[in-house]
Amino acid sequence: MKTEFDMVIVGGGPIGIACGLEAKKNGLNYLILEKGPIVNSLFHYPSNMQFFSSSEKLEIDEIPFISNEAKPKRDEALEYYRRIVTSNKLNIHLFEKVENVQKNENVFTIVSDKATYTSKQVVISTGFYDLPNLLNVPGENLEKVVHYYDNPHYYSGQKVAVIGASNSAIDAALECWRKGAEVSLIIRGSEVGQRVKYWVRPDIINRIEEGSIKAYYNTTIKSISKDHINLTAKGEDIAIENDFVLALTGYKPNFKFLEKLGVNTSNDEKKLPEYNPDTMETNVAGLYLAGVICGGMETHKWFIENSRIHAKMIVKNIISSAITTS
C-alpha cells in the first residue's frame, strides 16, 4: 500500500471529494481519508431531510446532479456523491479515522487508526457535524436525550421536547408532530429562527399559533429528569412531562484538532481559523482548510455551493508553489 503522497485530504464529504477530483485532474498523487462512509456527515442527516439549496448548487466539478424536485432529498445526495467517487475511481479510504497530523520540516506525517502516511500538503475538510453544542445541564447524559435526529416514527405517541430554533430543530418538531408525537418546542430567543427554510417557517408558526405545537420562547433548560424537563421561561420555573429530548442546538468544528495542528484561531467566540482567503492555506505552510470548517463557529456562513471553489484554489496554489520552488 502506497504511503507517500503529494496531498492527503482529511474528510470525505462533498468538499473533500471535490479536492480529490481536482487533485486527480492535475496529476497530483492524493489520498482522501474518511472516518465513516462516503459523505459521512450527510449520511447522518435526518432520513427525510430536504436541502435548502437546489441540486445545481450542490454539484461539484460541473458534474450534473439530477433530482426529482428542485431541492434534492438526503438520499439523492448520497447517491450523487457516491457515484462521483466510484465512477471517478477516487483514491479514498473509508472507515479510517485520522488521529494525528504532525509536520517535520516540509513533510507531514498523518497517523490514522489503520496506517501512517506522509504528504507534502494536507487539506482539512472535516466540516462541523461531529461535535454537538451541549446544553451543559444536569440530566443531559440520560438515554432519553439525543443531539442527532433521524426519523419521526420512533417518537410517535411520545412527549417530545425539541430544543432549538433553526432548520434541524424545526424540521424535527414538525415531523414528530405529524407522526403523532406531543411536541414542545424550546427556544432560547423570542422567535423561530429567521434562517429557517422559507417554505417551512410559515408551517411551524401556524402550528404554534393553532396550538398543535407548544412553543416556549425566551426559555432556558435548567435540568432534565427521567419523566420531566425543567425550564426557566421569562423568569418562571416550569416542569413539563417528557419522554424524549431532541437537543438540536447546532454543532461545531473540532477546534482541538485544529489547534493541535498549529492552526491559529481568533480569540473571540467566533473562533475563526487563520487562512489565506486567496489560497486557503493556513498559518501552517502546506496545511489547507476547505469547506465549512473555514467559518469556525459561524457554521451558517459556508455551504457546499460557496465552498466547492476551495478545491480549485488549493490545487492551483499547490501546483504554482511547486513550479516556483522547482
CATH of the domain at 189: 3.50.50.60
**What pLDDT does residue 320 have?**
87
Distant-in-sequence, close-in-space partners of 153: CB < 8 Å, separation ≥ 6 = 179
- Same domain? For 189 and 153 the reply is yes
- Same domain? For 22 and 104 the reply is yes
- Same domain? For 232 and 257 the reply is no
Q: How many alpha carbons lie under 13 Å from residue 282 in its C-beta half-sphere?
A: 24
CA pair distance 138, 135, nearest whole angstrom: 9
- Same domain? For 188 and 201 the reply is yes
Cα–Cα distances in Å, from 105 out to 120, 202, 311?
10, 56, 25
C-alpha cell recorded at residue 104: 517535520
Distant-in-sequence, close-in-space partners of 184: CB < 8 Å, separation ≥ 6 = 159, 160, 161, 162, 213, 214, 215, 216, 229, 240, 242
Asked if 295 and 15 touch (Cβ cutoff 8 Å), the reply is: no
Q: What is the DSSP pairing of strand 98-104 with strand 159-163?
A: unpaired
Q: What is the DSSP pairing of strand 219-224 with strand 228-233?
A: antiparallel
**What pLDDT does residue 128 have?**
83
The H-assigned helical ranges of 65-129 are 74-87
What is the model's pTM? 0.90
**What pLDDT does residue 324 have?**
65
Among 222, 247, 272, identify where a domain stops. 247
- Same domain? For 256 and 168 the reply is no
| Host domain of residue 207 | 134-247
What is the per-residue DSSP string for 113-151?
A: SS-EEEEEEEEE---STTEE-----TTTTSTTEES----
- Same domain? For 29 and 114 the reply is yes
When divided into structural domains, the chain yields a total of 2
Q: How far is CA 196 from the centre of its chain?
A: 16
- Same domain? For 164 and 195 the reply is yes
Among 178, 213, 247, identify where a domain stops. 247
Q: Which parts of the chain register pLDDT below 50?
A: none
Asked if 13 and 127 touch (Cβ cutoff 8 Å), the reply is: yes
CA pair distance 292, 15, nearest whole angstrom: 9
**What pLDDT does residue 325 have?**
60
CA dihedral sign of residues 140, 151, 243, 218:
positive
- Same domain? For 11 and 106 the reply is yes
Among 247, 262, 297, identify where a domain stops. 247
